[in-house]
Amino acid sequence: MLIDTYGRVATDLRVSLTDRCNLRCTYCMPEEGLQWLAKPDLLTDDEIVRLIRIAVTELGVTEVRFTGGEPLLRPGLVGIVERCAALEPRPRMSLTTNGIGLKRTAAALKAAGLDRVNVSLDTLRPEVFKTLTRRDRHHDVLDGMAAAREAGLTPVKVNAVLMPGLNDDEAPDLLAWAIAEGYELRFIEQMPLDAQHGWKRDGMITAGDILESLRTRFELTAEGEGERGSAPAERWVVDGGPHTVGVIASVTRPFCRACDRTRLTADGQVRTCLFATEETDLRAALRSDAPDAVIAEIWRKAMWGKKAGSGLDDPSFLQPDRPMSAIGG
């Protein structure tokens, strides 16, 4: 079990498979990209599967989310999913992606055992997409989402970040579109994830702003706290149901008290929080032939020291220096 001093138990593992991405979203990384991890620093497929096996069989993890960077850029992704699907007990498995490569991989990922996908899409306007991501790939994302739906990787969840002066007027349109397409939409407050340190708290679109915009067109009814559990999104029933919309208010309404996540970076470090400034090295233990029990104990000790909160609710919060693309969302 991965328990901390506040009594929280981590059962949800986020695994970053690569720090690389084929988009250059303005709120994530500079146009020229970042200094990528060297290949020897990255975990191998075997090392990833071994750590997930330890997490599932020794530490009580029941859910695994593959992230990046962009996880579809990982050559061995389908094989990793297939091997993890064979674990006993079998974890629920999902993938967070920008959707560009989903059209060609969705069916194979479903056949390998992936349960569902989260796709990032911030706008319905191709020209705004190009401005936000610095790439002209809007149609590829839409095609990828449709392929995921057709393959049965459902519910297809759509993650949208609203940026002032770019897409901050699109919340109602995005929700109407998601309902028509059968996708589950979640808005995420912009977080300090950009390597160029351009995030400003006083300029972000807040959860309150998002809900106010949505209510210009829809009637929203809050779900009960019992429905939310440890999920990061507050969910709202739209026009009496059955459709819902989620809002992840990481900055203005942190949900740290219910956090059930543990994170594994692309180079084999345990992170207790997306915004933690400390990491615990598992790669060294793996490559020194440490037995599973030793690796599991290192992981337990790392999670025992998890802090009470992310610090995002502190106005003086500063983004850690570690590139977020290697950590995963």
Provide the token pair at 183.
Answer: 């996708």
Side-chain half-sphere exposure of 149, counting CA atoms within 13 A: 15
Q: How many helices (H) and strands (E) in the chain?
A: 10, 12
**Nearest CA to 61 among 70, 69, 71, 52?**
52
29 marked as part of a ligand binding site: no
273 appears as a binding residue in the annotation: yes
Q: Is 21 annotated as a binding residue?
A: yes
Match 């190009």 to its residue by tokens: 130
Q: Is 103 annotated as a binding residue?
A: no
Contact (Cβ atoms closer than 8 angstroms) between residue 95 and residue 114: yes
Neighbours of 45 (CB within 10 A): 16
14 is in an annotated binding site: yes
Q: Per the annotation, does 322 bind a ligand?
A: no
What residue type is 206 in one-letter code?
A: T
Q: Is 228 annotated as a binding residue?
A: no
| Angle value at C-alpha 188, between 60 and 208, nearest 5 degrees | 125
Report residue 90 as tokens. Answer: 């079998």
Alpha carbon distance 232, 215 (integer Å): 21
284 token code pair = 């060294």
300 annotated to a ligand binding site: no
* Collapsed DSSP state (helix, strand, coil) of residue 103: helix
> Is 259 marked as binding a ligand?
yes
- 283 labelled binding-site residue: no
Q: 149: closest CA among 195, 109, 187? A: 109
Structure tokens at 6: 């506040």
Q: Which residue spans within 209-273 are E strands per DSSP?
A: 220-222, 234-238, 244-248, 261-264, 269-271
Point out which residues pair with 281 in neighbouring strands.
Answer: 269
84 in a labelled binding site: no
**Is 250 assigned to a binding site?**
no
Which residues make up each annotated binding site for [4Fe-4S] cluster?
21, 25, 28, 256, 259, 273
What residues are designated binding site for S-adenosyl-L-methionine?
27, 69, 120, 191
From the annotation, which residues make up the binding site for GTP? 14, 65, 96, 157, 261-263
Residue set of the binding site: 14, 21, 25, 27-28, 65, 69, 96, 120, 157, 191, 256, 259, 261-263, 273
